[in-house]
Amino acid sequence: MKIKGAKKLKVKTVDVFVGGDEEGQDVFIKLKGLPFDIVENLLGEIPDPTPPKGEVMRDGRGQTVMDSRGIPKQVEKIDDPGYLAEVSRANTARSIGMLMECLVPGQLEFESKREDFPNATDYYFAIKAEMGRDGIGLGAFTNLILAVEKVCEVTQGEIKAAKHLLDNCVKPKKEKEFPGHPSTGGSESNKSSRKAGKASTGASKPY
């Protein structure tokens, strides 16, 4: 891609203070911004954990709600402690992955190699452990992660939201089914209330 009338965009960089060395000199680590495709790959490398399933979903008539394959839907237990711990671990691993990609080459050397870890999350936590052993404290690590978001000018939440929008541009949205929704049958009282609402409010106006 070329922007007419402008030169090539400059890659944004930032120097992050991580502490002092044994000689009393301040130590900085330089980070660079990332193209979106690299960040998107990280999200694919470390998928969101799946929450455990609870009771079967039922509509307003007490009937079991089925998915498009005819399989009963179950309530997702998104407040499960184990699931929340997995989400936290995945988010931390993604942050470390973004940090690794943001490092300007030639500054740091790591013993841990990606090919030695089948699981990406385990690899990034091994990197985190190395950084801790070599003197990167909690404060410095936090500064690095915050600097990653600054130099990339985006947070994990914004990245995931952008990816969701991109996915919806090429994939048709499926209507969600909720208890009482017409697609699941719905309760007669709900249907009656909807009819009554239409009668009382008249034709809707376009916005």
Render pLDDT for 22-53 as a digit per residue (tens, 0 to 9). 888 999 999 998 877 776 787 788 888 999 88
What mean pLDDT comes out for the span 201-205?
A: 42
What mean pLDDT comes out for the span 183-207?
A: 45
Give the architecture (CATH level 2) of 13-48+89-173: 2-Layer Sandwich (3.30)
Determine the pLDDT at residue 155.
59
End-to-end CA gap in the chain: 37
Determine the pLDDT at residue 168.
54
104 in Cβ contact with 56 (< 8 Å): no
**Backbone CA torsion sign across 73, 81, 154, 111:** negative
- Report pLDDT digits (tens) over 84-139: 999 999 989 988 998 998 999 888 889 999 999 999 999 999 999 999 998 888 88
Q: How confident is the model at residue 200 (pLDDT cuts 50, 70, 90)?
A: very low
Residue 15: both structure tokens together: 């120097």
Spell out the residues 6+ positions from residue 74 whose beta carbon is closer than 8 angstroms to its own.
53, 54, 55, 56, 57
The label of the residue with tokens 């691993």 reads 93
Residue 164 pLDDT exceeds 60: no
Rounded CA separation 192/183 (Å): 16
pTM above 0.75, yes or no: no
Domain ranges of the chain: 13-48+89-173
15 in Cβ contact with 103 (< 8 Å): no
Percent of the chain clearing pLDDT 90 (strictly above):
28
